[in-house]
Structure 1
Amino acid sequence: MLSVRDFWRRHRRKLYLTAGVFGGGYFLYKLYDTHRQRLHALERELQLQRESEELIKAQIQAHFENIQRISDTITLPHAMHNLSCRIAQELDLSHLLERLIQGKGQPTTLTQSEKLDLWGKLKILSFTRMALSIWATILLSLYTKVQVNILGRHLYIDTARNLGISNSMESGDVVDREDQQKFLGTADFLSQHGMPALISDMEAATKEVIKGKQLSSLFNNTTLHETIMQILDTFMSMGSPHSWIKYMMPEDVRSHSITAGNDETVPYDVTEFEQLMVEVRAVLSSAEFGSIVEIALKVVVDKLVELMGAKFGGNLTTGLPLARVLPQVAQMCPFLLEEPSKNQFIQVIKNMQEVELFFTLLYANMPSA
């Protein structure tokens, strides 16, 4: 017993030091182990978050592509068919052509003054129909894409929320089926309601540009291109900025009391249909959409003049009298209004990089209801 006490007295400092070292070491080990476990848990959490984000991105991409197919195969073909029928009905050239052909076969049936009057009407009507077909085809194809992208994002957000993967997304009420159908049905507003005003305004723009061009005036590729673009530019500049939107969608939606932005509150009594329409109007009124329309108009007119030049066998390069060009102008209109899968001009619009980027950003950034 004495030896133990003696040993303790002689070595207690060393024993305390040893115990302190081992105790400190154990404490540091436990601290390190706890920290390591926390880091591991954090890494697992980050990995799960990354996997969730990748899943969301993949679903968004798949959903986005599906939305584009809906626009290309259902919404736009239906609206284009109705538009083509309405333009053929309202801007029918056959009665003018029949009278001119009759006058050519039976010279005594028409006076020179009557012939000139018929040719003048044919000139205005042919270019009006062509310019209107160009503008309507472009705007309708872009409008339906705006529709399905806005609706698609609303529906995706609701689906994602129901699946529990929308923590980082804004929440919104699901768009019911009746409002969906009503919303998509507005693609026919142009053919059902907007056509009379559109025809009147496009005809006024055509008369302004065509009035100084005689039937004997030589038309080549450049002249034809410039004439069509002048008509479209004159039409687009008529009225207040973006006043042409009135042909595409109703003006009675309560847009003055709603906003598609994030800084103002949407009134509680606004219907889902009204909110969707306000978002469409906001897109169509944007400077970015206006730029897309201007670019698309030029691209489509370039393609049209190129095709017309090929049909004339190169003669349009040197120039032909306007009287010989008019029949070809009339014959090109049905090609502009063809069913989308066969329509070269819609494909040109669809393949524009500016259009692809615009709708990708629209789908990704459109605020929800």
Structure 2
Amino acid sequence: MSVVFDAVGGFLNRNRRKFYWLGGTVGSGYLLFKYAQWKWTEFQQRREIEQTAKSNVKRRFEQNLQDCTFAVGSLLPTLGENLFNELNVELLTAQLQQTRQAKTEGGEGGEDQPGAPVTQPRKTKLEIWEELKLLSFTRTISSVYLVTLLIVFTHLQLSLLGRFFYLDSVVAFSQTDREQQVRGTVGGRKGVSDETERKYLTFSWYVLNVGWKQCVAQVQRAVQEVVGSISLKEVTTYDALIEIIGKVREKVEDENGENSNMTAFLLPEEGKEEDVLRAGGVETDGFVVDKELKDLLNETRDFLDSSDFRKVLKSCFDEAFDLLFKQLRPTFFAEQESRQRSHIAEVQEGEDIQDNAENKGKAMPLAGVIPVISRLVHHVVNGVPNIFLEILSTQPELKALSVVMYTGWEDHVL
């Protein structure tokens, strides 16, 4: 046995350097393998956390957009009530019906009532028609502007508030354990105090109680200039009506040289914030606009004054009025489009498009269009489902601006 041990000992002694090298190589390889395994596991965990974080941010942003739609929907009844009370087209329509009835009764009696001039009913009827013409255009066009402004402004407000929650979630995310991060249960405060958030959202009161009147007045001036001189008997086509509304838009949006002046309908002048908060139901005894709220309002005004916001607003106006024109189209093309559908299989697609482009649709006196114009306000404000709210809330430029506001921050915020 000793001989065997001596032989093995001699072999190990003669080759100890080789064994040291082999042991070092195996050991190093093992350590490298364990290090690579650890780094791979760490990478997998980090990627899992990052994917969860991105998913959570996306989910929060999508929820923010849904909140915007819900918030605007809750404000529309108030806007509609204001428009219907202030621009009472229905009252004028009832007065017209009364003049018709009075004229019929006068005809049946063979003579007008004693002391009533013969021309009085006709003159009154004409005056009512002229007022109805102006009020119908004013109310419907104003509703399109105001719904669009409400949608864009609400997206701006909630995107700015949502950003603070996002930033706080990022900070909280870095301070929580991996299990919470992977589960996506990281929370955090809302970035601004609940009181500041409540006060900031109260400024929608200004749009619904002050700004809307300014908007209506601006539209009313434009309608008077464009529509006021058009005779009730003038023959009107679909294209002519679009041109009329387009001219009103030019005057409304280009007042003072740019459409940015319409943002004045959204927030009060600086220094009058406390008046709005008090009128909106916020307790303001001894209240001074604190720095947190002031910074939020200043940032809101910066966005409202930016060229990007003006482009988005213009794009949303275009989308909204295109929707309005689609609501008008059946009045002029219903019969024609019905005939086209009945024999569309017999007409080549290129010829069908050409025929449709060449046909101007039905023509009617402007007086015949006024009832259609006056009824469109119900689609804009009271539609169920409200296509204006649904489509404008997903308008690409508005969504892109919401992303910029939601994810934009300065270093000092963190």
> Under a length normalisation based on structure 2, what TM-score does the superposition of the two structures give?
0.71
Partner of residue 66, structure 1: 63
What is the aligned counterpart of 1:176 among 183, 190, 193? Answer: 193
What is the aligned counterpart of 1:85 among 81, 85, 89? Answer: 81
Pairing of 1:71-150 with structure 2 (within 5 A)? 71-73=68-70, 75-107=71-103, 108=118, 110=120, 112-150=122-160
Deviation at 1:194, TM superposition (A): 1.0
Q: Aligned to 2:371, what secondary structure does the other structure show?
A: helix
Q: Aligned to 1:342, what secondary structure does the other structure show?
A: coil
CA distance 1:349–1:173, change in 2 (3 Å):
closer
For residues 338 and 203 of structure 1, the distance between their equivalents in structure 2, rounded to whole angstroms, comes to 22
Q: Is the 8 A contact 2:222 2:251 kept in 1?
A: yes
Deviation at 1:243, TM superposition (A): 1.4
What is the aligned counterpart of 2:373 among 322, 325, 329? Answer: 329
Q: Is the 8 A contact 1:137 1:336 kept in 2?
A: yes
CA distance 1:128–1:252, change in 2 (3 Å):
same
CA distance 1:327–1:51, change in 2 (3 Å):
same
Residues 1:283 and 2:327 aligned together: no
When the two chains are superposed, the root-mean-square deviation of aligned CA atoms in Å is 3.3
CA distance 1:48–1:41, change in 2 (3 Å):
same
Q: Is the 8 A contact 1:133 1:336 kept in 2?
A: yes
Pairing of 1:152-191 with structure 2 (within 5 A)? 152-164=162-174, 174-191=191-208
Q: Is the 8 A contact 1:83 1:191 kept in 2?
A: yes
Pairing of 1:13-24 with structure 2 (within 5 A)? 23=20
Q: Is the 8 A contact 2:148 2:392 kept in 1?
A: yes
Unaligned stretches of 5+ residues in structure 2: 1-12, 104-117, 178-187, 274-288, 336-359
For residues 137 and 229 of structure 1, the distance between their equivalents in structure 2, rounded to whole angstroms, comes to 18
Partner of residue 232, structure 1: 249
Q: Is the 8 A contact 1:103 1:109 kept in 2?
A: no
Residues 1:57 and 2:54 aligned together: yes
Partner of residue 323, structure 2: 303
Q: Aligned to 2:256, what secondary structure does the other structure show?
A: coil
Of all paired residues, the percent bearing the same amino acid is: 21
Q: Is the 8 A contact 1:292 1:355 kept in 2?
A: yes
For residues 215 and 293 of structure 1, the distance between their equivalents in structure 2, rounded to whole angstroms, comes to 33
Give 1:344's aligned amino acid: I
Q: Is the 8 A contact 1:103 1:110 kept in 2?
A: no
Deviation at 1:134, TM superposition (A): 0.5
Q: Aligned to 1:251, what secondary structure does the other structure show?
A: coil
For residues 126 and 43 of structure 1, the distance between their equivalents in structure 2, rounded to whole angstroms, comes to 69
CA distance 1:319–1:56, change in 2 (3 Å):
same
Q: Is the 8 A contact 1:96 1:122 kept in 2?
A: yes
For residues 100 and 83 of structure 1, the distance between their equivalents in structure 2, rounded to whole angstroms, comes to 26
Q: Is the 8 A contact 2:140 2:374 kept in 1?
A: yes
Give 1:252's aligned amino acid: E
CA distance 1:218–1:156, change in 2 (3 Å):
same
Q: Is the 8 A contact 1:76 1:144 kept in 2?
A: yes
Deviation at 1:337, TM superposition (A): 0.7
Give 1:331's aligned amino acid: R
CA distance 1:312–1:25, change in 2 (3 Å):
same
For residues 165 and 283 of structure 1, the distance between their equivalents in structure 2, rounded to whole angstroms, comes to 32
Unaligned stretches of 5+ residues in structure 1: 1-13, 256-268
Can you list the C-alpha shifts for 1:324-354, whole angstroms capped at 9, x where unaligned?
1111111111221116x52122122234344
Q: Is the 8 A contact 1:175 1:272 kept in 2?
A: yes
For residues 126 and 311 of structure 2, the distance between their equivalents in structure 1, rounded to whole angstroms, comes to 40
What is the aligned counterpart of 1:196 among 194, 205, 213? Answer: 213
For residues 58 and 166 of structure 1, the distance between their equivalents in structure 2, rounded to whole angstroms, comes to 17
Partner of residue 345, structure 1: 388
Q: Aligned to 2:230, what secondary structure does the other structure show?
A: coil
Can you list the C-alpha shifts for 1:191-249, whole angstroms capped at 9, x where unaligned?
11212322221111222222342211222211122222221232111125411111012
Residues 1:215 and 2:232 aligned together: yes
Give 1:161's aligned amino acid: V
Q: Aligned to 1:211, what secondary structure does the other structure show?
A: coil
Q: Is the 8 A contact 1:71 1:148 kept in 2?
A: yes
| Count of residues in Structure 1 that have an aligned counterpart in Structure 2 | 337
Deviation at 1:173, TM superposition (A): 7.7
Give 1:298's aligned amino acid: D
Give 2:99's aligned amino acid: G
Q: Aligned to 1:239, what secondary structure does the other structure show?
A: helix
Q: Aligned to 1:105, what secondary structure does the other structure show?
A: helix
